[in-house]
Amino acid sequence: MKLQRKNLLRATALGALAVSGALVLTACGSDDNSGATGGNGGKTSAASNIKCDDAKGQLPASGSSAQKNAMDLWAKNYMAGCSGVEINYKSSSSGEGIVAFNQGTVGFAGSDSALKPEEVADSKKICKGGQGINLPMVGGPIAIGFHLEGVDSLTLDAPTLAKIFDGKIKKWNDEAIAKLNTGAKLPDKPIQAFHRSEDSGTTQNLGKYLGAAAPSDWKYEAEKKWPAPGGQAASGSSGVAAQVKQVDGSIGYFELSYATSQSISTVDIDTGGSAPVKATSENASKAIAAAKIKGTGKDLALDLDYTTKAEGAYPIVLVTYEIVCDKGNKPETLSTVKSFLNYTAGDEGQKLLTEAGYAPIPAEINSKVRETVASLS
């Protein structure tokens, strides 16, 4: 049964990219799926140990496409354990998720960047008596995917990546790339760099890495909107991944799960350590484990070290936050928000992340997330 369930989860993750727009999965309420029902005074699903509490009805949410594959798995499992509940997560972008949250149209939002001060100020209009806070829920590497016929392995460093995405390095056989890939047969072929077309936390996190690790070569502020001239744009991580998959000579950035599900080759990063580092969940976890909480009160925003040279630590990482009100959450969705996020931050929910190509949040930080979820009002 365990093997069967694991295969089902993997199949779900691999198929997730074929689904676009909103995720609307409705629990069938079968006795075979669940030992509990939502809105039943706190019964727990015998099949999965999901505590449904008083969860019921629809829970609209939107934002980060980085966590889409994780959210697909979480929603499917949660609704199988809590019948009568519908988790409707619209995968769009971090920027759109925060806008929706501050307009009061969703129960929570997903964002790959913590709320800015002005966004916190806006949230106070929705969070009556409180404000929006950041709960780190999903970690993982931002993979640099490439498609270059005849080349299966590629190493780049921060300065070279910065020049590629800024249009300063235009050919794959450029001397800077050749120096990092001794012995590789690099073609005299134009580089086609793809970036996100909409405001994106993934873009911002890549910008933070390039700005920190290659300050002489990446002069742009780390913003959600792609800052550099040139290149080609695509919508969402899925759109960028699809272009890289199709176009020979291309390079782009997206979460590892998109590379894994589409068998896209990824760049190893030369951090200046003893050996280049591969984009894996385990290596991303090594970098995220060094993160410090910079938020105050119930806000758990993290400070990531993008310049790490720690052995085996993959430096291009992001953390996706679930944005909620610390106080003043909507009464009609509060119980479901708490129940669902308690599941995603729980041992079972976090375990699924590795299977889907993500990295679990370090235990010390995650324990604070669970405490905060329990205190939401």
pLDDT, tens digit, for every residue of 176-216? 999 999 999 999 999 999 999 998 989 999 999 999 999 99
For residue 201, give the nearest of 276, 121, 112 by alpha carbon: 112
- Angle, to 10 degrees, between the axis of helix 347-355 and the axis of helix 331-344? 60
- Residue 134: the pLDDT is 98
User: What 3-state DSSP class applies to 102?
Assistant: helix
Confidence of residue 36 (pLDDT cuts 50, 70, 90): very low
* Mean pLDDT in residue range 105-133: 96
By the 8 A CB rule, do 194 and 233 touch? yes
pLDDT, tens digit, for every residue of 211-238? 999 999 999 999 999 999 999 999 999 9
For residue 106, give the nearest of 302, 342, 322 by alpha carbon: 322
pLDDT, tens digit, for every residue of 338-348? 999 999 999 99
* Mean pLDDT in residue range 152-159: 97
Confidence of residue 48 (pLDDT cuts 50, 70, 90): low
**CB contact set of 318 (below 8 Å; sequence gap of 6+):** 66, 112, 139, 140, 142, 201, 202, 205, 255
* Mean pLDDT in residue range 254-282: 95
Residue with tokens 């375990």: 351
* Mean pLDDT in residue range 362-371: 94
Tokens coding 50: 């999901």
* Mean pLDDT in residue range 272-277: 94
For residue 281, give the nearest of 361, 368, 347, 206 by alpha carbon: 361
Confidence of residue 23 (pLDDT cuts 50, 70, 90): very low
User: What 3-state DSSP class applies to 269?
Assistant: strand
Mean predicted lDDT score pLDDT of the chain = 88
As a whole number of angstroms, the distance between CA 148 and CA 173 comes to 11
As a whole number of angstroms, the distance between CA 7 and CA 133 comes to 35
Residue type at position 184: A
Whether residue 46 is predicted with pLDDT greater than 90 in this model: the reply is no
What Å distances lie between residue 238 and 12, 13, 139, 260, CA to CA? 16, 13, 18, 12
pLDDT, tens digit, for every residue of 122-145? 999 999 999 999 999 999 999 999
* Mean pLDDT in residue range 43-65: 81
- Residue 86: the pLDDT is 97
Residue with tokens 């929910």: 349
- Residue 335: the pLDDT is 97
Residue 361, strand partner residues: none
